[in-house]
Structure 1
Amino acid sequence: MFRLVRCNPVVTNVNHSSKVSNLSHKIEFVKLTSLLTCTFRLSGNLQQKRALSIHEYMSTDLLRKYGIGVPNGSVARTGAEAETVAKQIGSDDMIIKAQVLAGGRGKGIFDNGMKGGVLPIYSPKEAKMLAEKMIGHRLITKQTGASGRLCNSVYICERKFARREYYLAFLMDRTTSAPVIVSSSQGGVDIETVAKENPDAIKTTHIDIHQGVTDKMTKDIVEDLGFSEACTEEARDIIKKLYKLFIDKDATQIEINPLSETIDRKVLAMDAKLGFDDNSEFRQKDIFALRDTTQEDPEEVRAAKSNLNFIKLDGDIGCLVNGAGLAMATMDIIKLNGGDPANFLDVGGGATPEAIQEAFTLITSDSKVAAIFVNIFGGIVRCDAIAQGLISVVKNMNLRVPIIARLQGTNMETAHKLITESGLKIFSIDDLQSAAEKAVQFSKIVKMARDVDVGVEFSLGS
């Protein structure tokens, strides 16, 4: 599936020759080469509301409200509810889907050993049995990481057999600041694979925000996809309804995969994934009330409460920076020097002592962290105030990993003096390259010491 990345990268237009990298769900700061790549990752440990994602059953309910055809189905939160839902559907051919915010559910494995988060069921009794094996267990997929995602509910729907399957998505193109329609006749499969192996099979249609989706657009898209004549008008109507939903609800993504033409000549959205602009929360309270924090990293949820933009990564050098751009540059230079950042952490313009303490708490909660790189530009905030807060936090928390502090800007000389006179394991370095080198070197030394179970003490020579 395609999902909006949390780091809001710059993207380029998609064309028929676009090459799309197959990115993992775990956020990594890598070069984004197309709109599809940009919109392809979420999940897993995204900053919680930046492009809010909702469960499939919630997305299906929204589509239904907009008059878009979907298979008959409902959500269940217990085995007994699953049995009741299956009875209400009244079919002997259904699908049960684990409701977790991650792709690759069909090939996933639960922590109890059960294989598959999307399975066929043929009776209410079977619905109950499988629901009980899914609910309360963690589903591990290619996008969740080893810890998986907790399944709190299942979605049960009738199984419809498709005559043809298509891919249709509405996404935001940051280059043109306008929506685009991404479509492909190769639906029902991983669209990332299609984009990589056969980019010509993916078409994009740019929408003039003032004109919206025109009749000509819908006609061209439907003809290009290959809908039968009997389904043409319904398919065109669905495209317009999806766009209305996209605009009405401040969506950043509506992905239908597959959009199917069934054997009885109906057009149905078989699977839907929706994402929404976090800036619209003030007017989309009904949508943001659907947020499921159990699908998010607890540390990221905690960070958001302190107005910190925190994303956990897999490295061992903790980063505390003010400003998203500087934070990304900091991680880049760590990588260039052979290190690996343990997190993305932007404390913003109001880097107060309280915010710094919470930031350090988040960073040091990761046992892998072997060094901490503090990189602050004192524009809005004064460097001496940051230094005082940093010194206070290090004293109070009894931190035992080396801290490299690069404080540049207002009152930076005073800040350096405060740090030097504190006598703490904080190394004040002005040059960005030198600071990054030291952070990487310190992290390697600490890791080696940990491997042989010895303690180390640091001091910088003259």
Structure 2
Amino acid sequence: MNLHEYQAKQVLREYGVATPRGVAIESASQAEGAIAELGGDAWVVKAQIHAGGRGKAGGVKLVKSRGALLEAVNALLGKQLVTYQNAPEGQMVSRLLIEETLPIARELYLSLTVDRESERIVLVASGSGGMEIEEIAQTSPEKILRETCDTLWGLQDFQCRALAFGLGLEGSQIGEFGKLTKGLYKLFKDNDLAMVEINPLIVTATGSLVALDCKIGVDDNALYRRKKLAEMSDSTQIDSKEVAAKEFDLNYIALAGNIGCMVNGAGLAMATMDLIKLHGGQPANFLDVGGGATADTVAKAFKIILSDANVKAILVNIFGGIMRCDIIAEGIITAVKEVGVKVPVIVRLEGTNVELGQKMLAESGVGVISASDLTDAAKRAVAAVK
């Protein structure tokens, strides 16, 4: 689960991390109150959506007058903002964060995440703040600094100092950086976070460290014990199909293609999407129905896939182990009849009771296209949409 920037900064402040003063608004009528509260004669207006690349997409505006601020607010609120990280139709801007401006001397990058290879929390820093970390990793990997935190002892003072020196911080900034990183580590552990990223972490003209922008991602598996954070969830920023899938315990991620995929097992789902791409198609989604799905679950999965108007064909790829092929066949038949599927459905079954499942599909009269293997299924699906 992701937090909005204004929410993330609220959490940062609770752990002693300095942020610019700001006011979150949900309507243009609240802009005047924000101006009065912040004062000054220049502000930054930031669209609050769960996607990066807002600045390049026009979602972050520096304004230097009251009129310009009101114009920016009206231009962003209630509009779809399209960035390189979100869906083609973008995401609705329902909130804005209006912040004071600060004099910037330097921009740094700082983040905490889980390194799955070492099974440790890792602190990542760079002197190239304000840029995408992926771009830095590709063009200048030597600029990325890392400190891996010990599971038992956590983040140590010498690691904070090593990063501070590596970033070229001096004097009191070294101690301030150590306090900041220790606070971030505690925040990360206390709240079961998956990621916290400050980009940029600025050094102001007076030498202070301030988190100018922040992203926080919470581990969904821990939300049951992080009630306060769970209440910050904004379902309007999540694809409606993903919200519906979560209600049925289905693992669904919307993509931009036109071939709907229903698979059991994450690895098999990835392989299915790879083969679709290999043969010239575009998957419309990732959907793992899991190993214990029932006929009812399969029917619900079909409805979610078909709620995407871009879907022109559906590829069902099931390996029957825990979930028997006849159960899957029953679910497919039920779904096709209930929903009234108007697009080609290509089915590849393998495993337990595969012959029975194939027989049920063949005798159902619902017009399902049976594939002999996964490659055949991918080719048939691509051909169906072309």
* Aligned residue number for residue 65 of structure 1: 14
AA matched with 1:210: L
Which stretch shows the higher mean deviation, 269-278 or 427-436? 427-436
C-alpha contact (below 8 Å) 2:303/2:335 kept by paired residues: no
SS in structure 1 at match of 2:224: coil
Matches within 5 A, 1:249-268: 249-268=191-210
What is the alpha-carbon distance in structure 2 between the residues aligned to residue 141 and residue 195 of structure 1? Answer: 21
1:278, distance to aligned residue in structure 2 (A): 0.7
* Aligned residue number for residue 97 of structure 1: 46
AA matched with 1:314: A
What is the alpha-carbon distance in structure 1 between the residues aligned to residue 68 and residue 378 of structure 2? Answer: 57
AA matched with 1:157: E
* Aligned residue number for residue 323 of structure 2: 381
Matches within 5 A, 1:70-219: 70-108=19-57, 116-124=58-66, 126-219=68-161
Q: Are the structure 2 counterparts of residues 316 and 147 from structure 1 closer, same or farther at C-alpha, using a change threshold of 3 Å?
A: closer
1:125, distance to aligned residue in structure 2 (A): 5.2
C-alpha contact (below 8 Å) 2:258/2:312 kept by paired residues: yes
* Aligned residue number for residue 248 of structure 1: 190
C-alpha contact (below 8 Å) 1:312/1:344 kept by paired residues: yes
Match status 1:441 vs 2:383: yes
SS in structure 2 at match of 1:107: coil
Q: Quick one: which of 158, 166, 169 aligns to 1:227?
A: 169
The number of equivalent residue pairs is 386
What is the alpha-carbon distance in structure 1 between the residues aligned to residue 152 and residue 116 of structure 2? Answer: 17
What is the alpha-carbon distance in structure 1 between the residues aligned to residue 344 and residue 71 of structure 2? Answer: 52
What is the alpha-carbon distance in structure 2 between the residues aligned to residue 375 and residue 145 of structure 1? Answer: 25
What is the alpha-carbon distance in structure 2 between the residues aligned to residue 54 and residue 93 of structure 1? Answer: 26
Q: Quick one: which of 286, 290, 296 aligns to 1:344?
A: 286
Q: Structure 1, residues 230-249: CA drift from partner, whole Å, max 9, x if none? A: 32211111011111101111
What is the alpha-carbon distance in structure 1 between the residues aligned to residue 277 and residue 78 of structure 2? Answer: 38
SS in structure 2 at match of 1:106: coil
C-alpha contact (below 8 Å) 1:54/1:273 kept by paired residues: yes
Q: Are the structure 2 counterparts of residues 396 and 188 from structure 1 closer, same or farther at C-alpha, using a change threshold of 3 Å?
A: closer
**Consecutive aligned runs of 4 or more in structure 1 exceeding 3 Å deviation:** 122-129
1:332, distance to aligned residue in structure 2 (A): 1.7
Q: Quick one: which of 176, 179, 187 aligns to 1:237?
A: 179
AA matched with 2:199: N
* Aligned residue number for residue 215 of structure 2: 273
Alignment TM-score, normalising by the size of structure 1:
0.80
What is the alpha-carbon distance in structure 1 between the residues aligned to residue 67 and residue 280 of structure 2? Answer: 55
1:126, distance to aligned residue in structure 2 (A): 4.2
Alignment TM-score, normalising by the size of structure 2:
0.95
* Aligned residue number for residue 409 of structure 1: 351
What is the alpha-carbon distance in structure 2 between the residues aligned to residue 97 and residue 222 of structure 1? Answer: 29
C-alpha contact (below 8 Å) 1:83/1:125 kept by paired residues: no
C-alpha contact (below 8 Å) 2:297/2:331 kept by paired residues: no
C-alpha contact (below 8 Å) 1:80/1:128 kept by paired residues: no
Q: Structure 1, residues 302-354: CA drift from partner, whole Å, max 9, x if none? A: 22112221122222222111111211111122222333222211111232222
What is the alpha-carbon distance in structure 1 between the residues aligned to residue 143 and residue 231 of structure 2? Answer: 37
Which stretch shows the higher mean deviation, 260-269 or 210-219? 260-269
1:222, distance to aligned residue in structure 2 (A): 0.4
C-alpha contact (below 8 Å) 1:308/1:346 kept by paired residues: yes
* Aligned residue number for residue 4 of structure 2: 55
C-alpha contact (below 8 Å) 2:112/2:123 kept by paired residues: yes
C-alpha contact (below 8 Å) 1:207/1:213 kept by paired residues: yes
What is the alpha-carbon distance in structure 2 between the residues aligned to residue 55 and residue 217 of structure 1? Answer: 29
Matches within 5 A, 1:385-400: 385-400=327-342
What is the alpha-carbon distance in structure 2 between the residues aligned to residue 187 and residue 392 of structure 1? Answer: 53
What is the alpha-carbon distance in structure 2 between the residues aligned to residue 129 and residue 423 of structure 1? Answer: 59
SS in structure 2 at match of 1:273: strand
Q: Structure 1, residues 398-447: CA drift from partner, whole Å, max 9, x if none? A: 32322222222222221121112223311333422223332233333xxx
1:124, distance to aligned residue in structure 2 (A): 4.7
